[in-house]
A and B are shown apart, each in its own frame.
Chain A
């Protein structure tokens, strides 16, 4: 029995290969080039790779579904759409990362030590963040494309490990950042264990790790139902942890607050797309036949997530924590798209992910701009009266908040509307009612922030809005325009999504 090298479909895999290749080049650059020139070169490599990869995704759109790499990867409509979305969101995240003073001079230096001071003085910067980002992007692109549980797990780890590291790279308040990274890592590993445990049980149930194999086992195979349920629930815990659904959400506010803001933006936007992509695939493709087992749990989780995210957000005093809870609430809304389990639900989820992602990146981009002498100001009380100083920024931030709240004429409204409609039509009325009610509660805290920004007099304080650099400016404006455009003329984009929204089983 000779060893047969697997046949790789380079064309179909090109988007991911480009990203991974560029990540490896980035590592080599770190090793061989002098510190001074690394930053611009790394940025150029990263942006180039993302754009090139995006062009490959564009080339692949509309082509017939293929499986690649010995059936471990599937390239179909939703995958291409999600890869495209992840790439676009990453592009903006990279632009935010390029405003590099969010990152530590030397992450390995002990906070407060002489070593740290020296590193700061020498003007060093931790440029490893670029290859790390690229690896994470690659993992995110692979996650929804994975066609078996092993590949799924590998993708999960490839996307998670760089994020754990990146969360600890903050230049300021480093202890908070490192604590966040450690928490994220520990809990992430813990949830990965659940995931792996579930994968093992599913293998035990189906005798196969491929999604297609599990699907056929679910729809009338000889498997053991208890194994199926244990496997399904455990696997879900791993996935729900990644999307930040209650009660597996506790890490989210701590990590979002501690991580450097560009990384928070990247996590909040792109990770959510990848994780929901994988979740949608597993439940639409493999476990659709067992819907009566998992739907009640998912309904409960969705409702709990919406309620927890919306209600706790009200009591937050920190803008990043508030956005973290908002992202939890959005995870709940997105879960209704999973529960809907129909074509409309998939379409709505794709739209929601794109519109939520872009607004999230924009909102965090603005968070990076509000500063005092010691860095970003998260305290909401100090955002009071911001509009008096920077009306344009305040206006755009309000636009993002209104989109999160789902107010008409923003993308968020169309997203919520389509996703709730899909859930309603599939008969999940309870979750829609809970969704609408918690949307109302959520609107309360978003609008409270807008009121604070606009209608209160600024406190005597040193908070300023820094003039955004070209990169950040570009991100903010494109995000704002996209949010408004998708809200006012959603039809072309929805039609565009409809051409993607069929999973290959």
Chain B
């Protein structure tokens, strides 16, 4: 089926973004309202498409739209085309829905910023790019969106670029993403070399004929791309610094949508991974490492946003891990992605609300006892908290429980290993989130002087409330009657695999709940009483390493930055002495000969005439010699 309306999803926010940027300060008065309305309109278009899709029979739910022929060289044709299927619609609704809520929130949050219009222009640009990412019908079209969201992320992290460390954070994110983008471009090349096509459908048709080595290579490159965009090991270091951006950005881009693009990429490429078990194993391992890595960092963070960022990294680790389990896991990866979109965005907005009331303080050691002063924020945040640690029946319970179950069901030693890691992650998650709750909303007041915490305005708490409803109910809604599994099956599980059970579901659920209880209890014991305003300095080596983000920056510095600098210096030296030297030599010798030859230009007609005569005679002589 084709649809003529898909393009509006991208065109509307793109147009709005361009308009706000081109009009400049003229649009300052109404730009934020306009951008929010546009974002809401894209949500309406997305919702209409969703309802239309539900009405169609399962076999013809996907719709496409060809925009124009992008590249046509010989037999190689790439159309700029859009594809809206069961997978992309889930993303469209998440992006436009949560996106619109965050637009609303930002109207109030950014109201004191003189560049609010520019902020909204970037937000709209992000929405357009992210929609292109999930709607593109080929890897090349996806790539355009992929780069677009990278740019939007860069611009928004560095939105307050008057502070050098914020600009540095933006650059760090950009560089880490570049490494991942390299993987994506290589993956596209592998696809083209092996299949002669870059569209999802085109590759899927030919995937049977490809060698496993090629598919594994492509899968690993896609994984590299996903690791860059989704802050997975070993490209995870940028996400914590990305919190330099305004908090709504952290909520939208660095929690709910953009950072989950890696999960989308792997799920979308299911036809590649399902035929490349080695690459799948790599995916699971990356996810597992990251989910523990992020969780451990989260334990040591005192900065509320960085703690949430570490938690995001960890939760995306869960999703990546799930997507590595193939058809058994894709649906749960996406389900966790959606529920996470609600509760994490809600908590980030909550953190923004707290900062709003506390003079932009981010250190949780200077919070404490805020529940009384910010009742709505603490309730909405609390609902998100219950969802993320996986307390039944909140949203995160369903999604995380299913991922842990899938991990165990992978079978054998691997299954036990990954399942236990996922359980351990759940324990740590419960610990650090409880710690965050206690330090922020309960306990003794440790405020900086002059803090007068107050509840945020309606425009800020309303979106938080909506997201809190999602944090409560989305898990049940998505899972009741295996709704999400059936819905996504035509995309990610065409052959309807039967999934083996390693442990009965009830056992896994019990284990998960026990894990939560353990984590919460430890945190209660440790952070129950009075806390100091300063972080304790006499701590174990383990804590110190954790505070340094498990040495992620030190590792990058040692492995890449220093050797890179050495190489650059060497190249500069070569450039200066060898290449520039050669160029300068050519230049000066040309100038020298020019000065010499210029002497022939005497200005006297007699000399010129003589030169002509000599020239003619030489030419004549030469012609005679050549011919005769």
Known A237-B612, A241-B612, A250-B608: A315·B591 in contact at CB below 8 Å: yes
CB proximity to A under 8 Å, residues B569-625: 586-587, 590-591, 593-595, 597-598, 600-601, 603, 605, 607-609, 611-612, 614-616, 619-620, 622-624
Residue of B nearest to A294 (CB): B623
Contact with B620, one of A233, A254, A300, A313 (Cβ below 8 angstroms): A233
B626 contacts A by Cβ under 8 Å:
yes
Alpha-carbon distance A314/B623, docked complex (angstroms)? 32
Report how far A441 CA is from B590 CA in the complex, Å: 8
Nearest Cβ in chain A — how far from B591, in angstroms? 5
User: Are B615 and A311 neighbours in the complex by a CB distance under 8 Å?
Assistant: no
Q: How far is the CB of A102 from chain B (nearest CB, A)?
A: 23
Interface residues in A257-304 (C-beta closer than 8 Å to B): 292-294, 296-297, 300-301
Contact B595 A315 (CB under 8 A): yes
CA gap between A226 and B626 in the complex, in Å: 12
Cβ contact within 8 Å between A297 and B619: yes
Q: Report whether B623 and A297 are in contact in the complex, using a CB–CB cutoff of 8 Å.
A: yes
B48 to chain A, nearest CB (A): 40
Q: How far is the CA of A233 from the CA of B615 in the complex (A)?
A: 10
Given contacts A187-B605, A311-B594, A441-B590, contact A296 B615 (CB under 8 A): no
Which residues from chain A contact B601 at a C-beta distance below 8 Å?
Answer: 250, 253-254, 312
Residue pair B612, A312 in contact (C-beta under 8 Å) = no
- In the complex, whether A251 has a CB less than 8 A from a CB of chain B is yes
**A312 & B615 in contact (Cβ 8 Å cutoff):** no
Q: How far is the CA of A300 from the CA of B609 in the complex (A)?
A: 20
B598 interface neighbour in A254, A312, A444, Cβ under 8 Å? A312
CA distance A76 to B601 in the complex (A): 40
In the complex, A97 has a CB within 8 A of chain B: no
Closest to B583 in A: A444
- Bound: A194/B619 CA distance, A: 13
A314 touches B622 (CB 8 A): no
A186 close to B594 (CB less than 8 A): no
Q: What is the CA–CA distance of A84 and B586 in the complex, to the nearest angstrom?
A: 41
Would you call A230 an interface residue if the criterion is a C-beta within 8 Å of the partner chain's C-beta atoms? yes
Considering the complex, give the chain B residue whose CB is closest to the CB of A293.
Answer: B627
For the complex, is B52 an interface residue (Cβ under 8 Å from A)? no
Closest-by-CB residue of A relative to B603 is: A254
In the complex, what distance in Å separates the CA atom of A253 from the CA atom of B619? 23
Which A residues touch B622, using CB under 8 A? 296-297, 300
Report whether B594 and A236 are in contact in the complex, using a CB–CB cutoff of 8 Å.
no
Q: Is B628 positioned at the interface, with any CB of A under 8 Å from its CB?
A: yes
Of B586, B594, B616, B626, the contact of A234 (CB 8 Å cutoff): B616
Contact A314 B591 (CB under 8 A): yes
Q: How many residues of A contact B (CB 8 A)?
A: 39
Contact residues in A for B616 (Cβ distance below 8 Å): 194, 233-234, 237, 248
Q: Please, how many angstroms separate the alpha-carbon atoms of A311 and B596 in the complex?
A: 10
A98 within 8 A of B: no
A490–B608 Cα distance when bound, in Å, is 39
Q: B611 and A247: CB pair below 8 A?
A: yes
Residues of A within 8 A of B620 (CB): 229-230, 233-234
A246 to B623, CA, bound (A): 17
- A308's partner among B595, B597, B612 (CB-CB below 8 A) is B597
Query: Known: A250-B611, A301-B619. Is A444-B603 also a contact (CB below 8 A)?
Result: no
Tell me whether A237 and B615 are in contact in the complex, defined as CB-CB below 8 angstroms, given that A226-B624, A311-B597 are known contacts.
Answer: yes
The reply to whether B612 and A190 contact each other, CB–CB distance below 8 Å, is yes
Interface string of A225-246 (1 = CB under 8 A from B): 1100110111011000100001
Contacts of B595 in A (CB 8 A): 315
**CA A314 to CA B590, docked complex, whole Å:** 8
A221 to chain B minimum Cβ distance, whole angstroms, is 16
B427 CB, min distance to chain A CBs, angstroms: 61
Cα distance A253–B615 when bound, in Å?
18
CB of B623 within 8 A of CB of A183, answer: no
User: Which residue from chain A places its CB closest to the CB of B591 in the assembled complex?
Assistant: A314
B621 to chain A, nearest CB (A): 9
> Are A233 and B619 in contact (CB-based, < 8 A)?
yes
B609 adjacent to A190 (CB under 8 Å): yes
Chain B residues whose CB sits within 8 angstroms of the CB of A194 once the complex forms = 612, 616
Cα(A182)–Cα(B612), bound, Å: 17
- Given A183-B605, A229-B620, A247 and B615 contact (CB-CB distance below 8 Å): yes
A191 interfacial contact with B, CB 8 Å: yes
Q: How far is the CB of A173 from chain B (nearest CB, A)?
A: 15
Q: Are A292 and B627 in contact (CB under 8 A)?
A: yes
With A190-B612, A237-B616, A241-B612 as given contacts, are A232 and B623 in contact (CB-CB < 8 Å)? yes
Q: Which residue of A lies closest to B604 (CB)?
A: A183
Closest chain A residue to B612, Cβ basis = A248
Give residues of chain A (102-139) contacting chain B, Cβ–Cβ below 8 Å.
none
Given A248-B612, A250-B611, A444-B587: A315 touches B594 (CB 8 Å cut-off)? yes
Give the complex CA separation of A168 and B615 in angstroms.
27
Q: Kindly provide the distance from the CB of B603 to the nearest chain A CB, expressed in whole angstroms.
A: 7
- CB proximity of B193 to chain A, nearest CB, Å: 28
Which residues of the partner chain B approach A226 to less than 8 Å between Cβ atoms?
624, 628
CB contacts under 8 Å to B, within A441-495, are 441, 444
**Contact in complex: A187, B594 (CB < 8 Å):** no
Residue of A nearest to B614 (CB): A247
Tell me, rounded to whole Å, the shortest Cβ–Cβ distance linking B598 to chain A. Answer: 5
Q: How far is the CB of A185 from chain B (nearest CB, A)?
A: 10
Which of B590, B611, B614 meets A444, CB within 8 Å?
B590
- Give bound CA distance, A183 to B598, whole Å: 18
Docked Cα-Cα span, A229 to B620, in Å, equals: 7
Are the CB atoms of B628 and A225 closer together than 8 Å? Answer: yes
CB distance from A483 to the nearest CB of B (A): 26
Residues of B near A183 (CB, < 8 A) are 605, 608
Alpha-carbon distance between A293 and B587 when the two chains are bound, in angstroms: 36
Contact in complex: A247, B612 (CB < 8 Å)? yes
CA–CA, A254 and B611, complex, Å: 15
Partner of B626, one of A293, A313, A314: A293
| CB proximity of A40 to chain B, nearest CB, Å | 38
Interface members, chain A 397-450 (any B CB < 8 Å): 441, 444
Q: How far is the CA of A70 from the CA of B590 in the complex (A)?
A: 52
A303 nearest CB across to chain B (Å): 13
A229, B623: Cβ atoms closer than 8 Å: yes
> B623 to A250, Cβ gap below 8 A?
no
Q: Which residues of B contact A237 (CB under 8 A)?
A: 612, 615-616, 619
Question: How many angstroms between the C-alpha atoms of A247 and B609 in the bound complex?
Answer: 10
A292 to B622, alpha carbons, bound, how many Å? 12
Q: Which residues of A contact B591 (CB under 8 A)?
A: 314-315
Complex contacts, B609 vs chain A, CB 8 Å: 186-187, 190
B626 to chain A, nearest CB (A): 5
Q: Which residues from A are CB-within-8-Å of B624? A: 226, 229
Min Cβ gap B485→A in Å is: 52
Contact indicator B619/A236 (Cβ below 8 Å): yes
Select which of B593, B598, B607, B615 is within 8 A of A248 by beta carbon: B615
Q: Are A233 and B590 in contact (CB under 8 A)?
A: no
* Contact yes or no, A293 B607, CB < 8 A: no
- Across-interface contacts of B615 in A (CB, < 8 A): 237, 246-248
The answer on a CB contact under 8 Å between A311 and B593 is: yes
Is there contact, CB below 8 Å, between B623 and A315?
Answer: no
Contact B614 A250 (CB under 8 A): no
Question: How far in angstroms is the closest Cβ of chain B from A440?
Answer: 8
Q: A232-B623, A237-B615, A297-B623 are in contact. Are A315 and B608 (CB under 8 A)?
A: no
A-B contact pairs, 5 of them (CB 8 A): A186-B609, A248-B611, A250-B607, A292-B627, A297-B619
**Interface residues of A, Cβ cutoff 8 Å to B:** 182-183, 186-187, 190-191, 194, 225-226, 229-230, 232-234, 236-237, 241, 246-248, 250-251, 253-254, 292-294, 296-297, 300-301, 308, 311-315, 441, 444
Which residues of B approach A to under 8 Å, CB–CB? 586-587, 590-591, 593-595, 597-598, 600-601, 603, 605, 607-609, 611-612, 614-616, 619-620, 622-624, 626-628
Closest 5 CB pairs of A and B: A315-B594, A247-B615, A250-B608, A293-B627, A314-B594
A234-B620, A237-B612, A297-B619 given; 7 more Cβ-contact pairs under 8 Å: A190-B612, A194-B616, A230-B620, A247-B611, A292-B627, A293-B626, A312-B601
